[in-house]
Structures are given as structure tokens and as C-alpha cells.
Amino acid sequence: MSLTLFDLSGKRALVTGSSQGIGYALARGMADAGAHIVLNGRDRTKLDKAATDLKADGHDVQTLLVDVTDHDAVRIAVDAFEAEVGPIDILVNNAGIQHRTPLEDFPAEAFERLLQTNVASVFHVGQAVGRHMIARNAGKIINIASVQTALARPGIAPYTATKGAVANLTKGMATDWARYGLQCNAIAPGYFDTPLNKALKDDPDFNDWLSKRTPAGRWGQVEELVGACIFLASSASSFVNGTTVYVDGGITVSL
């Protein structure tokens, strides 16, 4: 009985920014738990490659090629998908970018790109999918925050601001939509070995700092995020709403 709480069979999950990295790992993990997967990205070649890889393992996979920073395009794409294919039961807002520059030199255009990709996309896709979930009185929304939701480090102040906003938007989604049967939560990864963190992973000084700063003493592997995602995507979390789950090896609780 207890294991059935985590079964995603028959559910359809849309994961934004899922052609690589954390998004792809979460999509694969939910597929392994029984979900039908909808991959999203802006690069058709990368998106098709990710879909082919999942299909090769026997998973049911579709793609949704749309720029999640374009509000109208997202609404049109989601509405068409729901009408032509079927309901999106689970949404993982994962799309995100990074830009590292000291705050006093941070380019305004880079700040705007961070806002659009890391925050506005959560609103755009969340609203488009959420409207359909509200009509069905059921749905799961999982927003990908960050260890920088709670902490800051030099050179990424605007990124830190966007991830703080993701956590607060998650609280707002839960406050507005829990009454309609939706559960809206966030996962805040610590330092994981992903393409977004390649510059840090390639820096020996940073690796030394991270191993000493993190109680677990290492980088996280993207597969270690899957359990939290399945929990929040499944009926096991039916009364969990508006929370941010930190999966960070203990870095946010230790000085």
C-alpha cells in the first residue's frame, strides 16, 4: 500500500528545460515511476535527442518545443497540447540560466535574461498549465529553486534574487490554488554536477571549498533529486503545499 503512494502510472508530466541536466534527470526519474513525459526546450535537435534516449528505454515521451519566456506562445502551446493530446497532471518548472559577474559590473541585459528565464517562465507556464489543473480540481506543480534561495555568494546576486523569487512565487501559487486541489512546491538543489555548473566544477579552488563547506563533502549527482521530485509529484504529498525542499547535502544548515 505505501509504495503505491509514489506511483505515477497514468500521469503526464511536463518538465521545462528538460533536454539535459536536472530537467532531463527528473523527467527520466518520473518516467521510471510510471509517468508519461513531455520534454520541453528551445533547441529541436537537443530535445529530439533527449526524447529518443528515453524512448529507447521504453518510456512514453512527447516533446513541446516552445520558448517558456514567451507568455503568449506558452499559453497557445499548452492549450493546444491539452486539447489534442490530453491533460498535464504534473508540471516541473525547471528552465533556468546562470550568469556570473560581480554585481557592480553586472550587465543590465543579463539581469533581464535571468528574470525572464528563471522567474517569468515559472509564471507563464505555471499559469497556462494551472488553469487546466484548476478546471480538473487536481494538479502538481514543482518549481526548481536553488541553494541560492536561502544563501548568497559573490558574483551571482541577480541569480540569487531570481531563486528567492521562485520560492515566494511557489508560496503564492499554493495560497491561490490549494483550494482547487493543486499542490505547489519547490525543490532547492545544492551544488550538483550539471552543465550550468561546469565553470565551477572545472575550478579546483571551488571544488576544495565546496567539499569543506558541504557536510556531505561532495557535489550532488542529479539522480539524487529524483526522490524528492517523485514525492512531490505523487499522492504521497497530498497535504504538502507551498514548501521548499532543500536537497543540498546539508549546506544550508551548517556554518
Enzyme catalytic residues: 159
Query: CA nearest 138: which of 18, 27, 237?
Result: 237
Burial of 124 (0-12, 13-18, 19+ CB in 10 A): buried
Is there a contact between 225 and 26 (Cβ–Cβ < 8 Å)? yes
Is there a contact between 143 and 170 (Cβ–Cβ < 8 Å)? yes
Cα gap 202→186, rounded to integer Å: 28
Please tell me what DSSP assigns to residue 230.
H
Q: How many CB atoms lie within 10 A of CB 189?
A: 24
Q: Which residues make beta-bridge pairs with 220?
A: 192
* Helices 21-32, 226-233: crossing angle, 10 deg rounding: 60
Query: CA nearest 126: which of 165, 100, 85?
Result: 165
